[in-house]
Amino acid sequence: MQEADAYISTGKGYAYWIRQCSFIACCLLLALHAQAQSLAKAKISERYEIDAKRMGTDINSEDALPRSREFKRIDSTYYVGWMYEGAYKYNHAADYLGFKNAAAPLERSLNLLERDYKKELTTRTSDLVQYFPNYRYQVDYTMAALYLMNCYSNMEEADKVYTLLRRVVRLNFQRDYLMDVYNYLGWLVHRNRYYTSSKYAFLKNSIDENEQLANRYLDSGLRRIEINKKLNAGIFQPGYELNEKMAVYHYKSILYSYALKIDSAAYYYGLMRKSNIFPHNNYATFRAICGDFREAENEYNEAITQDAGDKRLKEWAYYSSIIDIYKAKPKQGAELMKDMIKANGSTPGFGWYNIALARCLAYDGQMAEAERYANKAAEFKELHIGTTLSQAHYDFSLQLIKLLDKQAAVERQMFENRNWWYNPNVLARMAQLQGEKYMQQFLIINQFAQNPERDRVIYKLFSTESTISWDEVWYLIRDFSTRFFLDRFEKEAQKDDRKYVHKYFRFFIARLQMKMGNYTEARRILDEVLRDPNIDVEYEQLLITRVYQAQAECAQERKDDNAYNEWMYRFYTLYPQLIPNTGLKMNMNLHLTGGQDAAVVDRLKACNISWTTNSSVPAPAAYISFRQNGNKKSIEYYVIDREGKYIVDRQSFGYTKPEQAGIQLAYRLFNIGGKIPERGKNDER
């Protein structure tokens, strides 16, 4: 070692050493080059084999995973195996971890594509012969990028979505294929519109600015389609660009619907009407925010086939349940939600369906069950896939359902105990429930105050981003700043151009006038609402019922018993389930048959129902029959109106405890719980 060092230290030795090193390096380079050529030939052969085998396997099939493993065994440096693995995992993901596991191989497939085929990906040409060899690489890239974008989006990683989209923009494909990059940029901004640049650098600093930015992205997409059209004229069939334009129109319609620019939204929906991508679900929601619930329901029914096999929230089902509430058919809405929960399990949408089910049960008067399903929704970690509905919408909807439950709990103490005002136990319970209600209101109003969309969603009553019924808005505002809300709704009524929605603003104005003690003015407005020629009696029974309720309260205030009795009778014939939660007393005729259980009857009569025998008082007739077979006791009941039509169908229930049976029977006479009416043809989904 020392001798070698001494030799090298001389000039001759140093030159010799350099020559030796150069010779060795040249030999190594020649060997590596020969090996690289051999490997390259082997890679080409292996990749031909992979390409041939993938022809017989759909990337979205169940065979994608075993194929991906086979492809990676043949050549793990080729993007195809990683793309197949990512696609399979994406298609089977239903939670954060699932999408995270899918993202890793998809990221690798894109990196390998760009490393090995950058030239093919960036080629833009009008020459079919030159373009054709590059076609499949560009299609594969957009497919892998689409799946990866959805993974990031479903993981709520908006920054990664934006970075990926900008990466695709830089490649500048001459067709969008599976990646409508500017549409997705617009969607990304719209989905995060209520944030600012302090959270995401790609955003502006207000909802208006973000919506303008989203629209500019869509406009850029339209311009890009026209530029690419010239390049693609000799490659693709004439008219190919129409489908790409339809995709832009789809997002344009979403933005204009959100902005309540009704004419513009209708224009873009009109452009898409005859296309194969017409979005029935979005159009249904658009018709719903216009107050046309009949057309909305028809379109939601059409959306069922478009959503088939989709693992995200089925918006058509969620919003159809709200329309059922508007139609005074909450039982049917509840059954629909139970079917959705059973069919989809704990996949994305499960929490939303439980919220909708809780709402339907609340409007059916089944408050204990409503609370149970609301708690299920609260315990579920919902994943908001492919929708602008966020966790903030989810939490707000859930808390409002809980407020309905708290309000009902107070009112039901009065319904179950007609002499509640001098019952110490009931008064103590009511005080406790009232405190819980105030705490719930405080929680919601704080959440509401921090919601930057309240002007666009709540005060408008109907909005594409609203996940509650218009009736729930009243529960939100009824105990707060009456003058403020009166001014807001009066302004909205003047400037809103949705003719079917005007009556709802007027109803809210009447309600607020009542809060201020202006019952005469309120009554005048309520009369106008009932005379509105645009009321759809079948689909707006909740509105009509709430007007009847308000009219009854006005009559009660002026001590007009005849008017009160008439309005309450109308109220009962349309939506009896709501009455126990109003604090209003209902007139009924009572008909008892069979061997009466005195304890049950006494408890029934202790409830807040006015039992009358006066034929001049408008009242439904309740028929109750007691049965006993050995130790089994049951009660059969039904209720008919003055014309002999069933309001509550003939049915029965068994019991063991008379106290509980009397209370249960009182609720059953208001059609709360019990069997579900058979659906008519118009109600089938």
Q: Are 143 and 197 in a shared domain?
A: yes
Largest CA distance in the chain: 131
The predicted-structure confidence for 478-491, as pLDDT tens digits, reads as follows 877 788 888 888 88
Domain that holds residue 12: 2-53
Looking at the structure, tell me whether residues 541 and 602 fall in a common domain.
no
CA atoms within a 13 Å half-sphere pointing along the CA-CB vector of 491: 8
Determine how many CB atoms are found less than 10 A away from the CB of residue 2: 6
Alpha-carbon distance 281 to 305, whole Å? Answer: 10
| CATH value at residue 511 | 1.25.40
pLDDT at 42 (0 to 100) = 60
Residues 6+ apart with CB under 8 A from 63: 57
**In this prediction, what percent of the chain has a pLDDT beyond 90?**
66
What is the Cα–Cα distance from 77 to 180, expressed in whole angstroms?
28
Query: Does 133 share its domain with 270?
Result: yes
Count of the separate structural domains present in the chain? 4
Which parts of the chain have pLDDT scores under 70? 1-42, 307-311, 677-685
- Residue 437 lies inside a defined structural domain of this protein: no
Please give the pLDDT value at position 39: 46
Residues 525 and 615 in one domain: no
Residue 422 falls within a domain, yes or no? no
Q: Which of 293, 314, 335 is the last residue of a domain?
A: 314
Kindly calculate the radius of gyration of the chain based on its CA atoms and give it in whole angstroms: 34
Query: 518 and 662: one domain?
Result: no
Q: Is residue 59 situated within a structural domain?
A: no
Q: Is residue 599 part of a domain?
A: yes
CB-based contact 181:412 (threshold 8 Å):
no
In-domain check, residue 571: yes
Residue that is last in its domain, among 289, 314, 339: 314
Q: For residues 179 and 177, what is the distance between their CA atoms, to the nearest angstrom?
A: 6
Q: What is the pLDDT, as a whole number, of residue 3?
A: 42
Tokens matching residue 546: 């709430």
Beta strand 632-640 pairing with 621-629: antiparallel
Q: Where are the alpha helices (DSSP H) in 345-464?
A: 350-363, 367-379, 391-416, 424-449, 454-457
Same domain, 571 and 591: no
Residue 673 is part of a domain; what is its CATH number? 3.30.160.150
Assigned domain for 329 exists: no
- Are both 591 and 536 inside the same structural domain? no
Same domain, 47 and 145: no
- The domain boundary, picked from 279, 314, 349, lies at 314
Q: Are residues 565 and 594 in the same domain?
A: no
What confidence score (pLDDT) does residue 41 get?
59
CA-CA distance, 583 to 595, in Å (whole number)?
32
Residue 563 in any domain: the answer is yes
> Does one domain contain both 602 and 493?
no
pLDDT at 580: 95
Residue 118, in any domain of the structure:
yes
17 and 136 in a single domain? The answer is no
Task: Tell how strand 621-629 and strand 586-594 pair up.
Answer: parallel
Q: Are residues 579 and 591 located together in one domain of the fold?
A: no
**How does DSSP assign 48-87, residue by residue?**
HHHHHHHTTS-TTSTTHHHHHHHHHHH-TTSHHHHHHHHH
Structure confidence at residue 40 (pLDDT)? 53
